[in-house]
Structure 1
Amino acid sequence: MSDVSSNNKRIAKNTLALYFRTFFSLLVSLYTSRIILNELGVTDYGIYNVVGGFVGMFVILSSSLSGAISRFLTFELGKGNIDKLNNIFCTSVNIQIILSILIIIVSETLGLWFLSEKLNIDPSRMFAARCVFHTSVIVLVLDLITIPYNAIIVAHEHMKAFAYLGITHTLLKLLIVFLLPFFFLDKLIVYSFLLLTTYIVIRILNGIYCKRHFVETKWRFYIDKSLMKEMFAFSGWTFIGSSSAILRDQGSNILLNLYAGPVVNAARGIAEQVNGAVNSFASNFMTAVNPQITKSYAANDKAYMLDLIYKSAKFSLYLLLFLSLPIIVETPYILKIWLKVVPEHTIWFVRLILLFALCDSASRPLITAILATGNIKNYQLIIGAFQFLCLPISYFFLERGFPPEITLIVALVLNLCCLVVRLILLRKMIGLSVRIYIKNVVCRVGLIGIVSSALPIYMSCRLSNNLSSFVVVTGLTLVITLLSIYFIGCSSSERYTIKNALLNSYKKLISSVIC
């Protein structure tokens, strides 16, 4: 019981560290997104989004290995096999380097041809688009090589360091916003190169931290052939799921460019910014929980693992619902205040992408549990098929004149199907109770969503679209959601724990004031 209590406290501390990082990043992101949109203009902002997203598709060649790297490192830590960690780390880094070289070759040939010949970009902006393309390729390579370093930080649960690195990157991006107006060259080109510089700095800092704190990150050109086969066997099936997800997201972005142009790409890019800012809170909670799920499976503690899955799914959804519901209700006013120019279709893109994020959040602990088992063949085949269907179905509807929002509606419906598949598979793998999950997670969150949104939506429709009504509706939404989570979403024992935590925090605050 003491170990469970210690693990829970560690999760809580790590989550708070990550929340601080996310809250800071959120404030900066809201500010910088508006300035960058105004500095670049809607068309150039859309070009950056579609070109950067297109380059991101090349991560298909390596993203499947990313999950394998994280899983293998965390699994060995859970088993207490420290000696094997350096072999895993070095093998991971060297594989990523080799694949990065392959990505550069493919992207700078086939990718550059597709950019020049197929994407819907004004010829006068093609040189700038190519500059964005080249810098985006380098950013992608830096990200890939950094993956093993981030994985080892998260596996050791050094979330404060992870948070500080994220905050540093955010500050560097903020510096770009202050510098950008002083450049008189093509601002899209300047922005892409300045952004690349921030990734180089973070890559250097990341390497320095790992070298000083983890002996297993001492790099050497070593590849364990048997380990490489095991990792490729694992990642081979993961490739299906990861590649289909990337094709779903970035392929839809390219379809939007072909059928609607860069302005709609800008609208989706803004929606992604909102989603990234809000969704990162729930993501950070899962970042703190994921190592515990994998380690508990490695230690054969399935009871604790199942408890973590149920509770992490529920509370990550509560958090995301609390943050996203006011935005969904008041999207038009928020975008009007946040952005001087609101591209067409942005309002519904934001709402739909937040609903997609809620559905996706319910699956995150399930995905971690499946990957921890290593039994992923059937899972990846089924999920990959559902995710891949998003592209042809979206194409079918866009070809027949449906609005751009149809791409997210299709993705949302298929994501719900994927959630059902994950539940059924985990019932066979680890004995997860689908009934308990549906009752305690899906139904409770659904009920809270209905109760919390009914009155705010009515009030938003009745009141004028101004600051006072925005404050009233937003405040009402937050209060109702918080009360609904507490009284409907939490069990009696969870309410008791929350009350004690709040009481202890209050006592500490009072004692510190008195002293």
Structure 2
Amino acid sequence: MADNRKIAKNTMFLYFRMLLVMGVNLYTSRVVLQVLGFENYGLYNVVGGIVTMFTFLNGSLGAATSRYITFELGKRDFERLNKVFNTALIIHVIIALLIILLAETVGLWFFYEKMTIPHGRLEAALWVYQISVITCFFSLTQVPYNATIIAYENMKIYAYVGIVEVLLKLSVVFLIFVSPIDKLVFYALMLCLIQIGIMFFYRIYCNRHFASCVIHIYKDRRLFKEMFSYAGSDLIGNIAVLAQGQGLNILLNMFFGPTVNAARGIAYQVQGAITQFSNNFMTAVRPQIIKLYAESRPEEMMRLVKQSSCFSFYLMWVISLPIFLETDYILTLWLGDYPEHTVCFLHLVLILCLIQTIKTPRSTVFHATGHLKFVNMVVGGILCAAFPLAYILLKIGFSPESVFYAANATMLVSEAASMIILKKYIDYSISDYIKKVYGRCLLVVITSFFITHILYQHIYNQGFLHLVLTCVLSTASSMFFVYVLGMDKTERDKVKNIITNKLKR
């Protein structure tokens, strides 16, 4: 049976970090948006995205690194674990240098020729671009260290470092007001320095606490080739993620300019905050899924996959429901003023994230088995179709929201393909999976939304009290239907026992 106590403990540390980071990030976003303005905020959001587009290979290698380190740790082969770490580090340094070359050639051409940048902001945007390149280099070479911390499930360090990081970012917000240089450039530069400082701390920590992070020069060509081959099988999937993310963001810039990028940036700021609830849960669960596969316990693994798919979705839904109902007021309370399209963007992004939340545990199984090539060719190809589809829709005159319609449609099709392909490698019932995961999640969504919406229309108070009552009603409704419709008898009994034990204390 999976180590549920360790999952719960690690999740608790990650949630503590998340709540603090989320609170400060939401506050800093308000101040930064007010100080920089819609255009500068949109520029910062999209210019860094050009550099991110070149990191598609690193996404594949990052997943490969995490899988290999976790897998070898599960087998307790520490000598090979050190080889994997050092091989991954060499690979990431090579890729980082390659991405710098691409960013300073192809990236600069795209920056000057294709981007929509307001008059008089070209120099500032170029500074932001170059700072993003520097940050990207250090981020790429950091991947093996982060993968090691996650593999050892040492989540406490993330909580502590998160506190320091968020306090540093908060100080930057106040320093913007007295910046002696362009505010946009100053903001990008300070965030870059914070990221570099935190990365160096993680490296020092790993070198002191994990023997597997001691740097040795290995010439294991077989392992080098094996990891590259594994990463290559995940390449299309990561290209698809970037096409749906930064690719669509760049399309919005080309057709509508940086103000629409600001609206998208705000929507994804909210999405980034609330998805941390499910992401932190999955960060704690992911190593357990991989270790169960390494220990040849596929039935327990799939049971954990189904449970984690449901519960990560429930976490997202409990937070998303009041946002769907009170979007206008929440944005006004948070930002004061916000760009056009923000409300609709946020709704569509939340729907996309809810779909992705169910998918994540199942994707971990593919990484655990190493069978990535075929699934990523099919699923990645479907997801990549969002980019040309969105381009066609925008070209013939559709609204900015159409890029999200394209993304959501391709995501749904890819989900069906992924479930069918997994059957080739793991013996599980697709119909049982649909019933116990999608069926339960849909029941919870439909019933809780219907009941909450009826009650919501009968709340006559306005303003903040209306928001509070909506949050209370939606949370109570969601949690009630999760318990009644979203859990089986065994899970309900566990919840009863936990509550009973707490009350006895």
Output aligned runs, 1:359-438, within 5 Å: 359-438=355-434
Match of 2:473 in 1: 476
Match of 2:46 in 1: 50
* Residue 158 of structure 1 pairs with residue 170 of structure 2: no
Match of 1:512 in 2: none
What TM-score, normalized by structure 1, do the two folds share? 0.95
Distance 1:400 1:331 in 2: 30
Measured on the aligned residues, the alpha-carbon RMSD in Å equals: 1.4
CA contact (8 A) 1:87 1:223 kept: no
Distance 1:293 1:413 in 2: 28
Report the Cα offset of residue 185 of structure 1.
2.2
Report the Cα offset of residue 273 of structure 1.
0.4
Counterpart residue type for residue 478 of structure 1: T
Counterpart residue type for residue 259 of structure 1: F
Distance 1:256 1:102 in 2: 27
Report the Cα offset of residue 457 of structure 1.
3.0
Report the Cα offset of residue 251 of structure 1.
1.0
Match of 2:224 in 1: 228
Match of 2:338 in 1: 342
Report the Cα offset of residue 345 of structure 1.
0.2
Match of 2:247 in 1: 251
Counterpart residue type for residue 238 of structure 1: D
Distance 1:313 1:92 in 2: 29
Report the Cα offset of residue 404 of structure 1.
0.7
Distance 1:145 1:454 in 2: 48
Match of 2:502 in 1: 505
Distance 1:501 1:24 in 2: 26
Match of 1:206 in 2: 202
Match of 2:69 in 1: 73
CA contact (8 A) 2:57 2:238 kept: no
Match of 2:186 in 1: 190
Unaligned runs of 5+ in 2: none
Greater displacement, 327-336 / 427-436: 427-436
Greater displacement, 270-279 / 78-87: 78-87
Report the Cα offset of residue 167 of structure 1.
2.9
* Residue 271 of structure 1 pairs with residue 273 of structure 2: no
Counterpart residue type for residue 481 of structure 1: S
Distance 1:506 1:485 in 2: 21
Counterpart residue type for residue 38 of structure 2: V
CA contact (8 A) 2:451 2:477 kept: no
- Which of 121, 142, 147 is the equivalent residue of 2:143? 147
Task: Report SS of the residue matched to 1:418.
Answer: helix
Distance 2:23 2:192 in 1: 22
CA contact (8 A) 2:309 2:357 kept: yes
Match of 2:107 in 1: 111
Report the Cα offset of residue 507 of structure 1.
3.9
Distance 1:464 1:51 in 2: 43
Deviations 1:243-292 (A, max 9, x none): 12112211100110111110100000000000000001101111111111
Report the Cα offset of residue 175 of structure 1.
1.7
Unaligned runs of 5+ in 1: 509-515
- Which of 155, 159, 177 is the equivalent residue of 1:181? 177
- Which of 151, 168, 184 is the equivalent residue of 1:172? 168
Counterpart residue type for residue 177 of structure 1: V
Distance 2:464 2:161 in 1: 36
Match of 1:491 in 2: 488
Task: Report SS of the residue matched to 1:416.
Answer: helix
CA contact (8 A) 1:61 1:103 kept: no
Match of 1:457 in 2: 453
Report the Cα offset of residue 459 of structure 1.
4.9
Q: What is the count of residue pairs matched by the alignment? A: 504
Deviations 1:312-362 (A, max 9, x none): 101101111111111111111100110122100000111110110000001
Report the Cα offset of residue 135 of structure 1.
0.8
Aligned in 2, Cα 1:249/1:223: closer, same or farther, shift over 3 Å? farther
Report the Cα offset of residue 460 of structure 1.
4.6
Report the Cα offset of residue 506 of structure 1.
3.7
Report the Cα offset of residue 77 of structure 1.
1.1
CA contact (8 A) 2:30 2:334 kept: yes
Deviations 1:416-471 (A, max 9, x none): 11111121112221112211211111111111111111233345556575223222
Report the Cα offset of residue 223 of structure 1.
4.4
CA contact (8 A) 1:252 1:391 kept: yes
Task: Report SS of the residue matched to 1:124.
Answer: coil
Distance 1:225 1:382 in 2: 29
Greater displacement, 427-436 / 125-134: 427-436
Counterpart residue type for residue 60 of structure 2: S
* Residue 328 of structure 1 pairs with residue 328 of structure 2: no
Aligned in 2, Cα 1:205/1:247: closer, same or farther, shift over 3 Å? same
Report the Cα offset of residue 178 of structure 1.
2.2
